[in-house]
């Protein structure tokens, strides 16, 4: 009985990796989709600090926890030092995406930190290149 079912599955093309189209029009392959049929996004969505956000100075701590960033947006004075600490059991990194100051941490594990002192005003978008859709943040640096 098992052999009969397997033969029927093969005959119907189940499990085949070949395309069932015979067109030679050169159609491009479809992008990967989620189980619901929606295209999965890999583009980070950077937030902005609220207009009335408190301006911090000195050392400002940002936690990498549960594959997210807390807080995701901060507003700091020029000269402040940002310290990212990884509280997750997986590696993360801090990579600037845009803004007046560029930095790349390299990967760091649980309990490790990376820090940078911000010398120029402007808006810095950054992310963890390992988890860019859930781990991206914004730092507004003001005079």
Identify the structural domains of the chain with CATH numbers, from first to last.
55-142 (2.60.40.420)
CB 89 within 8 A of CB 55: no
96/36: higher pLDDT: 96
Q: Can the peptide bond before residue 5 be classed as cis, meaning omega within 30 degrees of 0?
A: no
CB 73 within 8 A of CB 47: yes
127 pLDDT above the threshold of 50: yes
- Average pLDDT for 18-40: 42
24 pLDDT above the threshold of 60: no
- Average pLDDT for 82-109: 98
Q: Distance between CA 141 and CA 103 in Å, rounded?
A: 15
């Amino acid at each position: 009985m098992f052999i009969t079912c397997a033969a029927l599955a093969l005959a119907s093309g189940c499990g085949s990796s070949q395309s069932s189209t015979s067109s030679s029009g050169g159609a491009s392959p479809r992008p990967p989709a989620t189980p619901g049929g929606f295209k999965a996004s890999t583009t980070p969505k950077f937030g902005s600090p609220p207009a009335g956000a408190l301006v911090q100075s000195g050392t400002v701590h940002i936690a990498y926890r549960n594959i997210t960033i807390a807080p995701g947006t901060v507003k700091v004075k020029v000269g402040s030092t940002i310290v990212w600490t990884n509280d997750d059991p997986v590696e993360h990194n801090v990579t600037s995406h845009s803004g007046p100051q560029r930095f790349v941490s390299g990967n760091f594990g649980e309990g490790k930190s990376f820090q940078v002192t911000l010398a120029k005003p402007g808006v810095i978008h950054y992310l963890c290149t390992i988890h860019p859709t859930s781990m991206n943040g914004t730092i507004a640096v003001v005079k």
